[in-house]
Chain A
Amino acid sequence: MDAASRRDMPLLEVEELSTWFRTRSGDAHAVDGVSFQLRAGETLGLVGESGSGKSVTALSLLGLVPRPAGRIVTGSSVRLRGEELVGADERRLRAVRGGEIAMVFQEPMTSLNPVLTIGRQVEEGIRIHRRLPANEARSEAVRMLERVGIPEPADRIRAYPHQLSGGMRQRVMIAMALACRPSILVADEPTTALDVTVQAQILELLLDLQRELGMAILLITHDLGVVAEVADRVAVMYAGRIVETATVEDLFEAPAHPYTAGLMAAVPDPDRPAQRLTAIPGNVPEPTRWPDGCRFHPRCPHAWERCRGAEPGLLETAAGGRSRCWLIEEPDRRLPTAFSSGTGGEP
């Protein structure tokens, strides 16, 4: 394999990933046939409302679906550099977790163990994956904490999590995740719990580290502003499925799927503060009973009979992205006024 084709080969290929949970009212299809690819060094934003299956997708990549209720359905495939991870043995998965795919969680306040010093927590992964002796692991931890912008890291390694602010803790989480030089970082709402000013700093830090370490980032968020700032490509999830993929520019220029358009309309517009906030009518349906046909049709302003009868595939849009919407085949049916009050909207 020559260098060029290795660069083109996706680092991570997810195909038909389905993760179901057994519940009292039947199987909940939290993730239902999700496919995407992640190339080395790129940032893919995975966007959607709460309950759309973003976080379960992330956990499924690492084989961390809570058992016994949850399971990855046969036929799902997650390949890291061509190596199948679904059904891989626990030993191999443990080496992948933290070593090749690392994760940063949403809540910096609760994602650190309160009874261990931050130094010990950063060291732990280094010692397991890189098998360094204790003193080298310690100096590596100090270096890593310095790199993520913790002041006086040599002293701070003895601090306990409750002695740090939320932003500092998220930096520690990032140091933990990146200490073993993973090739993929899964960031699950990494800035949601932080102040807006701290959010910007953390995103900036992630991008810096990405340039330095050359890792790919899967950024999970419900915040379109964050996606616009840092992502290269975006995948929009709704009801356990990806409904639209596009480059960031195309997506914000012309969202092809009505759900994406609805999300954008729901972002408050500072230029028109007097306006009522626009919301997508209704809620995400129950994952035990997704609607027949297009899963968005009960909430979609454009929906017609075809949407109720059959679910579209991921159809290619004019701009080169993909959208799971019949409007791609029948653009005349698009109503001009739907979600018109927000940004983006109609071409």
Chain B
Amino acid sequence: MRRAGLLADVLLPGARAALSGRSGGVAVLAAWAFLWALSALRLGRIVATLGGGSADQWLALATLVACLVACPVAALGWLRREPRKASDAPAGPIDWEAFARHRQASIGLVLLAALILVALLTPYLAPFDPNAQHAVVATRFLPPSAAHPLGTDRFGRDVLSRVLYGARISLTIGFVAVAIAMTVGTLVGSGAGLAGGAVDAASMRGVDLLLSFPRLVLLITLVALFEPHLGLVILVLGLTGWMGTARIVRGQVLSIREEDYVQAARALGLGRWRILVRHVLPNALTPVIVAATLGVGNTILAEAALSFLGLGVQPPTASWGNMVASGRDVMLNAWWIAAFPGLAIVLTVMSFNLVGDGLRDALDPRHARGP
């Protein structure tokens, strides 16, 4: 009986959990089926990768193998554990069970995971090269069909392939720019909060000054000064997005450094640096994580706006923003060119916001946590 169960978990991971009504099981089973279907349909490309592929393709292959291993591991480990009762204390500072009980947040997380998976697997998933112009006249402005599920654009390029490749650009921009913003914001904020006095006042007035510019105007000015390319767009988005984080971190540091446990750490003879890194920052991070999650969605929107205005990612590289821009003047005749990248933006930003909301609840000690 036990061995049969083990076998079932390895061959059809998630199936038993799904049968007993756990949504996690359904997700694992769906991922498993999707991955095998992909491997079967794109066997040619996988073999080609093994014979010598680009970095993109190797990354996709690594992702595929890792996920194929992860599914049975998830079925054997995580799905076998009984869900913790609501009354028990959570095992760590992040209350994952509270997060899981938050339905919209779970949906957002699943969407987000799927999105990241899709972005990594794009070289295998996309039916065509995103920049391949097929017979330009014959295949341009084709409506969605079996050959081109989301249609083709004015150059006869496959919209589905471009949306998939656009996911990589948008997610990369979102994550890297937010990482830059969070790093700068945390450094400025903790510096201001710890130093206090004149340094604090000066840097916060500087932040106020920067915040008083509309972000888009700032972005347009900065991008217009230089030749727009991907690295610059990321840098500029990162360097215009850190002020909110700096404020949050500064406020947190100001209140946390008065906490009893910081006083206790001082009384134990810990140095300033150690107290900051081990005791103050980890406790200040909660709202930063939430702000970062919400920030990724905002950054993707900002990039789309920049690209829409022609100042972001430059054609022919596909980004959701410049796809929407290129479809706007044929909207009435070929709605699919702008609609699908637009939908992708909406779904992505929405899932980041849902996850952000869920994290805020899961990280808030006043939520769903016994005394």
| Residues in chain A near residue B92, CB distance under 8 A | 160
- Structural contact, B264 and A94, CB atoms closer than 8 A: no
Chain A to chain B contacts (Cβ below 8 Å), 9 pairs: A62-B266, A68-B197, A98-B270, A113-B282, A114-B93, A124-B278, A129-B269, A162-B89, A176-B268
Is there contact, CB below 8 Å, between B264 and A115?
A: no
User: Is the Cβ of B264 less than 8 Å from the Cβ of A111?
Assistant: yes
How far is B95's CA from A163's CA once the two chains are assembled, in angstroms? Answer: 13
Interface stretch, picked from B25-33, B121-129, B255-263, B294-302, is B255-263
A94-B270, A176-B264 given; 16 more Cβ-contact pairs under 8 Å: A62-B267, A64-B263, A95-B269, A97-B266, A98-B268, A105-B263, A107-B260, A113-B278, A113-B282, A114-B365, A116-B282, A124-B270, A124-B278, A125-B269, A129-B269, A177-B268
* Contacting pair A96 B264 (CB below 8 A): no
Q: Which one of B259, B269, B270, B369 has the greatest number of beta carbons of chain A within 10 Å?
A: B269
The total number of A-B Cβ pairs within 8 Å is: 77
Check B270 against A110 for contact (C-beta < 8 Å): no
Q: Is the CB of B271 within 8 A of A110?
A: no
Report if A128 contacts B (CB, 8 A). Answer: yes
Closest to A96 in B: B269
In the complex the two chains form, what is the Cα distance from A207 to B267 in whole Å? 21
Is A173 an interface residue when CB atoms closer than 8 A count as contact?
yes
Interface size on A, residues (CB 8 A): 31
Which residues from chain A contact B140 at a C-beta distance below 8 Å? none
A259 to B270 Cα, complex, angstroms:
39
Interface positions, chain A 108-135, Cβ under 8 Å from B, are 110-116, 124-125, 128-129
From known contacts A105-B263, A110-B259, infer whether A128 and B268 are also in contact, taking CB-CB under 8 Å: yes
Q: Which residues of B contact A56 (CB under 8 A)?
A: none
Give bound CA distance, A129 to B270, whole Å: 9
Take A105-B264, A110-B261 as given contacts and tell me if A94 and B269 are in contact as well, using a CB distance cutoff of 8 Å.
Answer: yes
Residue of B whose beta carbon sits closest to that of A113: B261
Alpha-carbon distance between A128 and B263 when the two chains are bound, in angstroms: 17
Cβ B261 vs Cβ A112 within 8 A: yes
CB distance from A62 to the nearest CB of B (A): 6
Taking the nearest CB of chain A, how far is it from the CB of B359, in angstroms? 15
A residues less than 8 Å from B260 (CB atoms): 105, 107, 110-111
* Cβ contact within 8 Å between B264 and A112: yes
Check if B269 sits within 8 Å of A98, measured CB to CB. yes
| Contact mask for chain A residues 79-106; partner B; CB cutoff 8 A; 1 contact, 0 none | 0000000000000011111110011010
Does the CB pair A128–B89 fall under 8 Å?
no
Q: Which residues of B contact A116 (CB under 8 A)?
A: 278-279, 282
B248 interface contact, C-beta 8 A:
no
Residues on A with beta carbons closer than 8 Å to the beta carbon of B268? 97-98, 102, 124-125, 128, 176-177
Digit string of B256-293 for contact with A (CB within 8 Å is 1, else 0)? 00011101111111110000001100110000000000
Given the known A-B contacts A113-B279, A160-B93, A163-B89, are A97 and B269 also in contact in the complex, defined by CB atoms under 8 Å?
yes
Closest 4 CB pairs of A and B: A98-B269, A97-B269, A98-B268, A103-B267
Assembled-state Cα–Cα distance A62/B369 (Å): 36
Q: Which of A93, A103, A114, A163 contacts B264 (CB 8 A)?
A: A103
